[in-house]
Structure 1
Amino acid sequence: MKIALFSDIHANLPAFEAMLRDMDSQKPDAVYCLGDLVGYHIYPNEIIDEIRRRGIPTLKGNHDEKVENIITTSESLNEAGRKHAYHLIRDDNRAYLNTLPAHIRLEYKMNGEKLNLVFAHGSTRKIDEYILIDTDEKYVLDLLEEADADFLFVGHSHKPYHRILKVYDGTFKHIVNLGSVGKPKDGDPRGCYVLLTLNKDTSATDCYSLKIEFRRVEYDVEASAQSIEKSMLPHELAQALRDAK
């Protein structure tokens, strides 16, 4: 089974469309989005509409979550700058974001072994928690045990990695950050998503049996940046796309 996982589009339509073209060419059996559809760019409705049209199971990210608070404060409705990105969202899409789940759990049974895949935006403890490649190992193992996860997939930091941790019983647990489709922060301006392949040999006892492919997708970064500069959003957001920081 081939599963496509992506996160942190942040309303960057050119990057999202390029990612979808590449993803569709890979013909995944299932697709999941780990949140942050909006913020930082001018195309939130186009992103949400396509996610909904495709029926992609999607988590709520911290930027998706903040939409509700922004629209309930009358003062913020009149603010320009960064909050303009949230004011662009249609009412029906606001309602959609507000009802997205916090986590998705998939349980597989293969070769008599149960394997739990858990998806979260930041972490299973907090929507905006950063779980980085160098986060304390004991903390991460405690998090995985608490979530009953053999494989934990997250976003939020915009920095992709695959980390394998050995447990006391000789099994292995995996944590994978998907990177970001629309706002990379690892110095590479290309969008990033993950293809996960599960097969008959996938097992918690074999640390190499989980196949993870980070796919980097080129798109017209300059055109995307210029569309920000022509809007009410701060120009620094455009430069952040160019710098991938």
Structure 2
Amino acid sequence: MRIAAISDIHGNLPALEAVLADIAAAGVDATVNLGDLLSGPLWAAETADRLMALELPTLAGNHERQLLTVPPERMGASDAAAAGALDARRRAWLAWLPRTLRLSDEVLCCHGTPDNDLVYFLETVAPDGWRVATRAEADERAGRAQHGMPNSVILCGHTHVPRVMRLSDGRLVVNPGSVGLQAYDDVHPHPHHIENGSPHARYALLERSDDGWRVELRSVPYDSEAAARRAEEGHRPDWAVALRTGFVS
């Protein structure tokens, strides 16, 4: 079985198209989308239409939940920009998306952790910044998901950081990184920023063999300058810097 995992598109349609072309060239049995599809100042409506037509197995991330449940006056700027571009048909599609899904007996998909779309799975945020999670922390966050299945995989997104970690009982956790946004800052649960260091779109290829799962974290170039200009048109210079460089301004 050969799987492509994509996540955190954030309305970046040129990045999505570049990743889809790379996936098509690689040849896969299934592509799964792990959420945070539209939020941001880019192409929310157009990205929604593209994804709806693809009919990929797709999750709702925290931003889908926020787009549908947070009052407009309390939304962050990225959610507000996307919300203004979505009609009833696109909102109904978002509302239909599940929080988790099982791609096969061995592959469970979530956005943050299996139990919480806001918790970082493979990174830990402290008052002085973030670090790679310990195995014990990741074990706890995995909980009972796929427990007793040492050759299983949990796919997650949310942090935008490509990473693979094997848990103490053999379960494999894979974050494919972000298709659409390679740097951001956040205040939950403490102020921090994430930087991947280049504008390349990220995703993961997984292949099952007799020896277990082979994982390839892939970086794909695309017209990031067009995305940065779109962010500037949406009055988001912070996004423009992140899209151009992979760093926070």
TM-score by length of 2: 0.82
Paired residue for 1:226? 229
1:42 Cα shift?
2.3
Paired residue for 1:215? 218
1:148 Cα shift?
2.3
For residues 92 and 32 of structure 1, the distance between their equivalents in structure 2, rounded to whole angstroms, comes to 22
Paired residue for 2:129? none
1:181 Cα shift?
0.2
For residues 236 and 190 of structure 1, do their structure 2 counterparts lie closer, same or farther at Cα, with a shift above 3 Å needed? same
Paired residue for 2:15? 15
For residues 241 and 82 of structure 1, the distance between their equivalents in structure 2, rounded to whole angstroms, comes to 17
Paired residue for 2:242? 240
Equivalenced residue count is: 223
2:117 aligned counterpart, secondary structure: coil
For residues 80 and 162 of structure 1, do their structure 2 counterparts lie closer, same or farther at Cα, with a shift above 3 Å needed? closer
For residues 82 and 51 of structure 1, do their structure 2 counterparts lie closer, same or farther at Cα, with a shift above 3 Å needed? closer
2:97 corresponds to which of 81, 95, 100: 100
2:182 corresponds to which of 184, 192, 202: 184
Q: Which range moves more in the overlay, 55-64 or 79-88?
A: 79-88
1:174 corresponds to which of 172, 175, 182: 172
Instruction: Describe the superposition over 1:144-192 as per-residue Cα deviations: whole angstroms up to 9, x where unpaired.
Output: 341125311110000001112333xxxx221111100000231121000
1:147 aligned counterpart, secondary structure: coil
Instruction: Describe the superposition over 1:49-85 as per-residue Cα deviations: whole angstroms up to 9, x where unpaired.
Output: 1211111010001111111134x54x469x9776223
| 1:1-245 superposed matches below 5 A | 1-70=1-70, 72-73=71-72, 75=73, 83-108=80-105, 116-133=106-123, 134-149=132-147, 150-167=152-169, 172-185=170-183, 186-199=196-209, 201-202=210-211, 209-231=212-234, 233-245=235-247
For residues 5 and 213 of structure 1, the distance between their equivalents in structure 2, rounded to whole angstroms, comes to 10
For residues 82 and 49 of structure 2, the distance between their equivalents in structure 1, rounded to whole angstroms, comes to 16
Alpha-carbon contact 1:82-1:234 (below 8 Å) kept: no
For residues 238 and 143 of structure 2, the distance between their equivalents in structure 1, rounded to whole angstroms, comes to 40
Larger Rg: 1
Q: Which runs of 5+ in 2 are unaligned?
A: 124-131, 184-195
For residues 106 and 19 of structure 1, do their structure 2 counterparts lie closer, same or farther at Cα, with a shift above 3 Å needed? closer
2:41 aligned counterpart, secondary structure: coil
Amino acid at match of 1:235: P
Alpha-carbon contact 1:42-1:88 (below 8 Å) kept: no
Cα RMSD over matched residues?
2.1
Alpha-carbon contact 2:162-2:175 (below 8 Å) kept: yes
For residues 162 and 81 of structure 1, the distance between their equivalents in structure 2, rounded to whole angstroms, comes to 28
Amino acid at match of 2:68: E
